[in-house]
A and B are shown apart, each in its own frame.
Chain A
Amino acid sequence: MKKLLQYSILFMFLAFVVYQSVYIKKLNEVNTAKQTFDVQSFSRKFVANDIKLSVDSSLELMEWRRGMLQDPETTFSRYTHALNIGNIRYGMVHGEGRVVSITENEVTLRVKQDSASVTVYVQTEFVYGNAVKEATGTIKLTDFNSTTDLNNVSKEVNKIIRTELLPNFKSNVRVGQFVYFAGAIEENKEHVKVNEFELYPVQLIIRK
Chain B
Amino acid sequence: MNMKKTLCRVTRFAFLLMLIGVPIACKQKTEQHKKMAIIISTLNNPWFVFLGENAAKRAQELGYETKIFDSQNNTALESDHFENAIASGYSAILFNSTDADGSVVNVRKAKEAGVPVFCMDREINSSDAATTQILSDSYSCCVNLGKYFVKQLNKKGKYVELLGLVGDNNTWSRSKGFHEVVDNYPGLKMVAQQSADFDRNKAMEVLESILQANNDVNAVFCGNDAMAMGAYQALVAAGKDKDVKVFGFDGAEDVIQSIAEKKIVATGMQFPRVMAYTAAELADQYLKGKRSFPAKMPVAVELVTQDNIQYYTAYGKK
In whole angstroms, how far apart are the Cα atoms of A130 and B303 in the complex?
14
In whole angstroms, how far apart are the Cα atoms of A147 and B294 in the complex?
13
**Residues of A that sit less than 8 Å from B by CB:** 82-88, 105, 126, 128-130, 141-142, 145, 147, 151, 154-155, 188, 190-191
Q: Does residue B300 face the partner (Cβ distance < 8 Å to A)?
A: yes
In whole angstroms, how far apart are the Cα atoms of A85 and B300 in the complex?
6
A130 contacts B140, CB within 8 Å?
yes
A83 contacts B317, CB within 8 Å?
no
B151 contacts A190, CB within 8 Å?
no
Q: Could you list some 19 contacts between A and B, CB below 8 A?
A: A85-B297, A85-B298, A85-B299, A86-B271, A86-B299, A88-B302, A126-B147, A128-B143, A128-B180, A128-B181, A129-B140, A130-B143, A141-B296, A141-B298, A145-B127, A147-B139, A151-B139, A151-B140, A190-B317
A84 contacts B137, CB within 8 Å?
yes
CB-contact partner of A84 in B144, B150, B298, under 8 A:
B298
A147 contacts B180, CB within 8 Å?
no
Contacts of A155 in B (CB 8 A): 180
In whole angstroms, how far apart are the Cα atoms of A154 and B278 in the complex?
26
Chain B interface residue number, banded = 20 to 34
A141 contacts B181, CB within 8 Å?
no
Query: Among B180, B300, B301, which residue has the most Cβ atoms of chain A within 10 A?
Result: B300
In B287-309, the 8 Å CB interface with A consists of 294, 296-302, 308
B140 contacts A82, CB within 8 Å?
no
In whole angstroms, how far apart are the Cα atoms of A30 and B299 in the complex?
33
The interface residues of chain B, by DSSP majority, are classed as helix
A126 contacts B151, CB within 8 Å?
yes
Query: Among A88, A141, A142, which residue has the most Cβ atoms of chain B within 10 A?
Result: A88
6 tightest Cβ-Cβ pairs between the two chains A and B: A86-B300, A84-B300, A84-B298, A88-B300, A85-B299, A126-B147
Q: Does residue B146 face the partner (Cβ distance < 8 Å to A)?
A: yes
* Chain B min CB distance to A72 (Å): 16
Contacts of B317 in A (CB 8 A): 190
* Chain B min CB distance to A87 (Å): 7
In whole angstroms, how far apart are the Cα atoms of A142 and B296 in the complex?
9
Contacts of B181 in A (CB 8 A): 126, 128
In B254-302, the 8 Å CB interface with A consists of 271, 274, 278, 294, 296-302
Which residue in chain B gives the minimum CB-CB distance to A87? B300
A84 contacts B139, CB within 8 Å?
no
Contacts of A145 in B (CB 8 A): 127
In whole angstroms, how far apart are the Cα atoms of A86 and B299 in the complex?
6
Known: A85-B278, A88-B300, A188-B302. A128 touches B271 (CB 8 A): no
* Chain B min CB distance to A182 (Å): 22
Which residue in chain B gives the minimum CB-CB distance to A85? B299
A129 contacts B144, CB within 8 Å?
yes
Contacts of B173 in A (CB 8 A): 147
B274 contacts A86, CB within 8 Å?
yes
Query: Among B180, B271, B278, which residue has the most Cβ atoms of chain A within 10 A?
Result: B180
